[in-house]
Amino acid sequence: MRYRYLAINAGGERVSGTLDAATPEELESRLARMGLDLVREQTGRLAALAAWFEGTRTRRRAVSRRELLDFWFQLKELLRVGVPLQEALRDLHDAHAEKDGQDMRRVIGALQEGIAAGQTLSQAMWAEPEGVFRPLFIHLAQAGETSGDLARVMEDMIAALKYEDELLRKTQKLLIYPAFVSVIVIAASLFLFLYLAPQLKMFLQQMGETLPFYTRALFAVADALGRYGPHLLAGIVLGVLAVRAWLIHSTAARLYRDGLLLRLPIIGPVLQKIALSRFAGAFALLYAAGIPVLAALAATRDIVGNRAIRQALAQAEEAIREGRPLSAAFADSGFFPVFVVRMLRVGENTGALDVALENLRHFYQRDVDLVVERAERLIEPLLTLLLGALLGWIMLAFIGPIYDAISHVAF
């Protein structure tokens, strides 16, 4: 039965959430193992609605990558010096009571509870809501349990999280500058069109000069923005809301959007290489840890960050399940570059697929750095040229007629 509970933690703070339990007594016992004292519980439709909301809120506020990175690093160090897993989790749970990390503390408490109930670490991780632990890390934890060396596998988890941080930083670096310049261009254009242009139009009309075409065109745009600007803004807002609603409720719409992103000039190839770099790195880690190919492909689908590539991986997985070789399945999808297919084929033929995957990961790591650097060098002059052309048109449209008017004034 699903319960909605209100409890008090060790610091005296109110904590609410939802848990599955057979009876209120079992709920109280589970909360006690998490370091919480039950105040009241609730069942029924209202609790079910609260459970749904709690689930969406948990996915929306998933534990940050930085918190996970700190957790795995600390847990690895404790295991390495011989601290038992249950005791290491208890120490980390108590440590989070002393700082602002209640979401991570709840996750650690749930892992403690699962292991105390006889589960393995990977099983306890599977029980967490979607978005907390990715299948990649759960499979790696399972491989560490099988090999008896969880600490070594956690080093791979930490390396994967650090690499994701680096990829995220590069993606942000590529997108933030164009977005910032675009905002500046739009703000400057609106100021010139909506405030400056009407005043200069009145001045030039009083001078009685014949306006050139480019000046009349600029004034026409300014008049249109002044007259239809509110309607245009409302249309843009409604359009954005409609597209957002479409993306939320339509899987096909999200798939189309992600495929469109990959086809964008300049940025599209970079996003594709970043996604393939994440795939190659994760697949190499899982295969080297002894995870079967199909399970590794299923885990990597969740980390590529693009639904079009995710669909191609699902198609490749289905082809492999039907008996096709790995390289042939990737080639049949028609989505992956020839280089990826060739490296996979070499790995299959030589029996060193893990080495081929590792080489593929190193290649894309280096290639992403080069592509991001080239894209930055190309985007900056393009945006500068666009801004210069816009400002040049505005200044020519304003200054040219003013100069002509002044030159005809008799002193």
At 47, the pLDDT band (50, 70, 90 cuts) reads very low
Give the separation between CA 210 and CA 405, rounded to whole angstroms.
9
Same-domain status, 74 and 56: no
Q: What is the pTM of this model?
A: 0.60
pLDDT for res 165: 77
At 52, the pLDDT band (50, 70, 90 cuts) reads very low
Same-domain status, 263 and 317: yes
| Domain termination site, one of 116, 146, 162 | 162
Total count of domains within the chain: 3
Same-domain status, 205 and 294: yes
C-alpha pair distances (Å), 191 with each of 214, 263, 360? 19, 33, 50
Tell me the percentage of the chain whose pLDDT exceeds 70: 84
Same-domain status, 171 and 157: no
Burial class (CB in 10 A: 0-12, 13-18, 19+), 228: exposed
- Average pLDDT of the chain is 77
At 83, the pLDDT band (50, 70, 90 cuts) reads confident
Please compute the mean of the pLDDT values over residues 376-402 and round it to a whole number. Answer: 77
What's the CATH number where 106 sits? 1.20.81.30
Q: Is the pLDDT of residue 19 over 60?
A: yes
Burial class (CB in 10 A: 0-12, 13-18, 19+), 330: buried
Question: Any bridge partners for residue 16, and if so which?
Answer: 6
Phi-psi region of 32 (alpha: psi -120 to 50; beta: other; left: phi over 0): alpha
Closest by alpha carbon to 297, among 275, 318, 274, 313? 313
Least confident of 48-57, 129-138, 193-202, 272-281: 48-57
Q: Is the pLDDT of residue 232 over 60?
A: yes
Q: Is the pLDDT of residue 55 over 50?
A: no
Rg of the chain in Å (alpha carbons): 29
Highest mean predicted confidence (pLDDT) among 138-147, 282-291, 308-317: 308-317
| Domain termination site, one of 147, 162, 177 | 162
Phi-psi region of 210 (alpha: psi -120 to 50; beta: other; left: phi over 0): beta
Closest by alpha carbon to 276, among 203, 212, 200, 338? 338
pLDDT for res 400: 73
| Domain termination site, one of 162, 181, 198 | 162
Give the separation between CA 189 and CA 180, rounded to whole angstroms.
14
Same-domain status, 262 and 343: yes
Q: Which domain holds residue 124?
A: 65-162
pLDDT for res 238: 92
Please compute the mean of the pLDDT values over residues 11-34 and round it to a whole number. Answer: 69
Closest by alpha carbon to 397, among 188, 207, 216? 216
Phi, psi of 3 (to 5 degrees): -110, 140
Amino acid at site 254:
R
Least confident of 46-50, 111-115, 118-122, 373-377: 46-50
Same-domain status, 388 and 269: yes
Least confident of 81-95, 124-138, 283-297, 320-334: 124-138
Give the separation between CA 164 and CA 303, rounded to whole angstroms.
9
Closest by alpha carbon to 170, among 375, 341, 346, 399? 375
Same-domain status, 175 and 296: yes
C-alpha pair distances (Å), 175 with each of 170, 181, 236, 265, 376? 9, 10, 22, 13, 9
Least confident of 5-14, 255-264, 279-288: 5-14
Same-domain status, 344 and 407: yes
Same-domain status, 157 and 232: no
Q: Is the pLDDT of residue 363 over 50?
A: yes
Same-domain status, 341 and 330: yes
Same-domain status, 96 and 118: yes
pLDDT for res 109: 84
Same-domain status, 361 and 261: yes
Burial class (CB in 10 A: 0-12, 13-18, 19+), 249: exposed
pLDDT for res 49: 46
